[in-house]
Each structure stands twice: as structure tokens, then as C-alpha cells.
Structure 1
Amino acid sequence: MSNRTAVTEFLLLGFSDVWELQILHFVVFLVICLAALMGNLLIVMAVALDRHLHTSMYLFLMNLAILDLGSISVILPKSMSLFVVFIVTEIAFLTVMAYDRYVAICQPLHYKRVMNWRACIHMAAGPWISGIVYSPLHTGNTFRLPFCQSNVINQFFCEIPQLLKLICSDSYLSELGFIAFGVFIAANWFVFIIVSYVQIFKTVQRIPSEQGRHKAFSTCLPHLIVVTKFLSISSFAYLKPTSSSTSGLDLFVAVLYSMMPPVTNPIIYSMRNKEIKNAVKKMIGWRLFTKNKRTVCLP
């Protein structure tokens, strides 16, 4: 047997050793985290407190906001399993939300019957169960393998592509097969999303009025943007060759797929959604503020 040194702990290099850059990174990431926490908390509270938003569409949106809250909060070495939980569950929820939009647009007369509360609860529980089951298996299999290279990870958390660089060559195929299985499941989910949107676009094209087509497309546009963004960034992060990628590129991509979705998702979903905007304004007392602002005090 070859002489190997077992690796039992990892050293995260982070972004920079320069003090001024560390301060800049701290401020930038603090702003990102606070923006993500505030945006997703507002969506969760608005959906929970406003009865007009107690529908399947906003139930799934609230779950997506909870997932973004979790993913932005657990990027620590000891919480990698939880990060996988939130990422896998988010992919599953994006698939469920695509089916919800498909039923709403392609089968509007059967929407209330198909998307009843019992079905919504089952469809919401499914992604959580899949993420909770898959993540410990994946994380456990990763750390079960022997690490015989350096213990230095040029990343700010224990990202799996970076861990693969440290695995002994004869054990690499085991983890690669496990990742291939996860990619296969995720690919099936994305194929389902694509098929759903093909049917949605066909139905939208048959709507006679331009206003009706615009309204139908507007309800799908935020979800379509989120799916496209998530698919492109995560695919690039996990499917690019780990040996040829530079450390700076790895750090940049990791920031994009781990920190930016929790910040941008609330903006994307609330930008064109009047119901969400009205619920948030009502919750923070915006109406009371505007009324007081318009009040004229007479002597």
C-alpha cells in the first residue's frame, strides 16, 4: 500500500489575506445576508398573515422563501448537510411550482379541484422529505471516503466539488457515481419543468386577448427567471471540470449560487406581484403612514 496521511480536518482559505479586502468582503456579505433575511422574512410573514394569499401559489412561494432563509444561514463547514437539504429541496419546489402554474393556466376550470389543500400539503411535504433523505446520504458518503491529498480548501465552506479534489484517486468513482445519481434526479425534475412550460406556452398562445396572454405570462415569468438562473449557475458550478477551474472562478461561482438566489428571489417574485406588494405594505403599516402624510393640520 502507498504511504498515505489521513485527513481528519480541513482548512478553509476564504477570499483574501489582505486586511482591507477582508473588511470589504465582510461588509459586502453582511449586506447580502441582511438583504436576503429581510426580503425572505417579509415574504414569509406576508403570506402567513394575509388570508388573501392562502393559496397554493403563495404556499409554495413561502416554502421557497424559507429554503432561501435556510441556505443563506448554514454555509458553515459543520452545516454542509443542511445546505444540501435546502438546495435539493429548492430544486424540488421549483418543479412543484411549475406544475402549479401548468394546472392554473392549462386547466383553469379544474385548478381548485386539483390543487386542493390536501394536495398542496402533500406536494409541499414531498420536496422537504426528498431533501432531508438525500442530503445525509450524500454528505455521509462524501466524508466516508479517504482524503489523502492536502487538507486545504480554497473556498469559504466545504463545497463538494472542492472536496472531490482531495479524495484519493481510487475512491473517486464512488462519490462520482453518487453525484451522477443526484444529477440524474435533478435532470428529471428540470425536464418536467421544461415539459410543463412547453404546454403552458402552447396554451398562452391560444388565448384570444392580448391582455389575457400578458396576464398569464406574467404569472409564470418570475418562476421561469428563477429556474433559469438556478439551473445555469448550479450546472456550471457542479458540472465544470474541477481540475481545470481556477480558485478565483470557484469562489465567484460559489458566491453566485449560494448567496445571490436568497437575495434576488424575493425581488423577482415581488417585482410584478401586486398581491405580495399590498400584503407587505399592509404588514408594515404603509397605509397608515401614507394617510398620516396626507393629513393637513388646520389652525
Structure 2
Amino acid sequence: MKLEEVEAEDNVSTVVQFVLLGFSKIPNLQGFLSGLFSIIYMVVLIGNSLILIITRLDPAQHKPIYFFLTIIIIFFFFLEICYVSVTLPRILFRLWTQDRSISLLSCATQLYFFLILGTAESFLLAVMSYDRFVAICKPLHYPLVMNPKKCHQLAAGAWLGGMPVQVGQTWQIFSLHFCHSNQINHFFCAILPTLKLACGDTSLHEMSVYVVGIFIAAVHFMLILVSYSKIIGTILRLSIAQGRAKAFSTCSSHQLVVVLYFGSGSITYFRPTSSHSAGTDKLLSLFYTIVTPMFNPVIYSLRNQDVLAALRRLCLQT
């Protein structure tokens, strides 16, 4: 792949097209990876779509106490499909065609939607923890607190809240000049591998990326911790063991999803710089961009008795 470039005013070559190296260093596994990623994508689409269908069609999920959670579940699993679709179809296309080129605009667009959807997922996980807090700690006030208006406001906030920040961050990165190389050593237009190709010192830009990421993740994670600290306190005060078990069961699926999402993201971005390597970064990125969304519907359905009951009813009807 030739380096396409134009001459900038200061006589420095500026990249106008990138090459995503992806998994080019392991050519013997290209066929295996193509089949594996195709299966994973089908599992993600089918698994998340099945949860959406169950949530929409099962009458029990439309009771007042489930109204807000139903809407959030629909948003969450639809978001999971979009989140994976930002990266995985392009990975498959490159594996099938061996065409690894991507334009500057396409790269910026991919990064923008990846950041937006990641922020929205973080927000939705925080909102779901608040929903469980109200349902367990203030059950009599649940229909009043989680009314349809607030439901739609919070759902819209999850999608729209991060847009101004991520527009600014994407613009900041792609307003830089990229020179000397157009090869991104990753399988999608991730922030740090892209910044490595920019001319000059990018330490301030890298710092801003970490500050924004830490702020967004920390705010949402703290909201989740506060909600669950109150939930655990309420559960421990319950006098009936069966009631405790049911309350813990209600939250367990969400807790596992939170651990997978925030845990994999934290290991990827906040581990010591000395332990960073291109191969390790790709492997960890695969986990939080592809593997975690694949497991989420499995975790949610297996750990949620209401979803299992709805699935049984749906199977009996068909």
C-alpha cells in the first residue's frame, strides 16, 4: 500500500489516507480470524436482538415497575449492536479483501461513533444502577420517580450527553498533521495508535484524552458505587433470607456487565505505560470492543429470572 500524501505549506508531508495493519503480522491465521469474527458478529446480532424481541413482546415486561428498565434494556442492547458494528464489519471486510486502507474522514467518523457509543454505554450502566436503587430502596415511589418523562430524558441523555465532548475530542485529534507514516498498528482507528502518527509533540493531546476518559468513567462508576452501596445496605436490613436472595439476583446480571465493561476498559487504558505493546493493546481492545458485547446478552439472560421466564413463554407460544 503506497503512502498517499499532499504537500503542506511548511513542506511537510501530510497523510491523507491511513492503513490499518490489524492482524497482517499473522497471515497464517487470516482465514481462522475471518471465520471466528464472523461467528462472533452473528452471535452478537442474534443474542442482542433476541433480548430486544423478548423485552418488546413479553407482556410481563410492560408492568409499571418494569417500564423504565424495559426502555433502558432496549436502548442498551440496541447500543451494543451499534457498538460492535462500528468496528467488526470493517475488520471482516479487510480480512476478506486484504484492503486495509481507510480515508482520513472515515477514520475520524469511526473513532467519533466509537467514543459516542462507549460514553453512552457507560452512562446507561450508571442509569441502570440508579433504577435498581429506586426499585429496591424505594419501591413504593418507583412509579412516581421513574415516570415515562424521566425515562425518555435519561435515555436521550445517554445518547446525546457525550456528543459535545466527543466531537471536540475527535476534532482535536484529526486537526493535527499526520506525517512520515500512515500505518496505524491497530484493527480500528483507536485514539492512541492514531496520535502516534501525528507530527511533533502530542503529550498534551494524550493527556487530554486520559483526562476526558478518566472523568467520564469516574463519574459514571462513582454513581454506580453509590447506588450499590445503598442497595447492599437495604438488602442486608431485610429480615427474610428469600427476599435478600431475590434482591441480589435482581442486580447480579448488571453487576457482572459493569465489571466486564469498566474492568476491561481500565486495564486497556490505565495500566502502566511500560507494559504497553501493540499486540497486547490489540488483544485487550478485542475484549472490550467485541468479546464483552458478545457475552452481555448471555450474562443478562442467564442471571435474570424474568428474562428466562419470558424466553420460555416465547418458546411455548411458537
**TM-score over 0.5 for the pair:** yes
Aligned equivalent of 1:205:
236
CA deviations 1:24-82 (Å, max 9, x no partner) are: 00111111110011010111121122232132122211111011000111114442211
CA distance in 2, matches of 1:288, 1:223: 28
Report the 3-state secondary structure (helix = DSSP H, G, I; strand = E; otherwise coil) of the residue aligned with 1:15: coil
Query: Closer, same or farther in 2 for the Cα pair 1:94/1:278, shift >3 Å?
Result: same
In 2 relative to 1, CA 140–281 (structure 1 residues): closer, same or farther, beyond 3 Å? farther
* In structure 2, distance between residues paired with 1:211 and 1:48: 29
- Alignment-derived partner of residue 251 in structure 1: 282
CA contact (8 A) 2:40 2:294 kept: yes
Distance 1:80 1:181 in 2: 15
| Shift of residue 240, structure 1, vs aligned partner | 3.2
Give 1:1-299 correspondences, 5 Å limit: 4-54=12-62, 55-75=67-87, 76=90, 77=107, 78-241=109-272, 244-283=275-314, 286-288=315-317
User: For residues 116-149 of structure 1, what are the alpha-carbon distances to aligned partners after superposition, in whole Å with 9 as ceiling and x for unaligned?
Assistant: 1111111111111113333322222211122235
Q: Is the 8 A contact 1:60 1:124 kept in 2?
A: yes
Q: Contact 2:55 / 2:61 at 8 angstroms: preserved in 1?
A: yes
* Structure-2 separation of matches of 1:244 and 1:216: 40
Asked if the contact 1:164/1:172 (under 8 Å) is kept, the reply is: no
Corresponding letter in the other structure for 1:84: L
Amino acid in structure 2 at the alignment position of 1:195: V
Aligned AA (1:127): A
Q: How many residues align?
A: 287
Question: In 2, distance between residues paired with 1:56 and 1:155?
Answer: 38
| Aligned sequence identity (%) | 39
Unmatched 5+ stretches in structure 1: 290-299
TM-score norm. by structure 1 comes to: 0.89
Q: Deviations over 1:244-275 (max 9, x none)?
A: 51221011011001001211110111102232
Superposed CA RMSD in Å reads 2.1
Confirm or deny: 8 A CA contact 1:103 1:111 kept in the other structure: yes
Gaps spanning 5+ residues in structure 2: where? 1-8, 91-106
Q: Would the aligned equivalents of 1:12 and 1:155 in 2 still touch at CA under 8 Å? A: yes
Aligned residue type for 1:8: V
- The CA distance in 2 between the partners of 1:178 and 1:156, in whole Å, is 19
- Closer, same or farther in 2 for the Cα pair 1:100/1:149, shift >3 Å? farther
Q: Is the 8 A contact 2:252 2:303 kept in 1?
A: no
Q: Deviations over 1:207-251 (max 9, x none)?
A: 001110010011111111111111111112222355751221011
1:175 CA displacement: 4.7
- What SS does the aligned partner of 1:168 have? coil
Report if aligned partners of 2:253, 2:304 keep a CA contact under 8 Å in 1. Answer: no
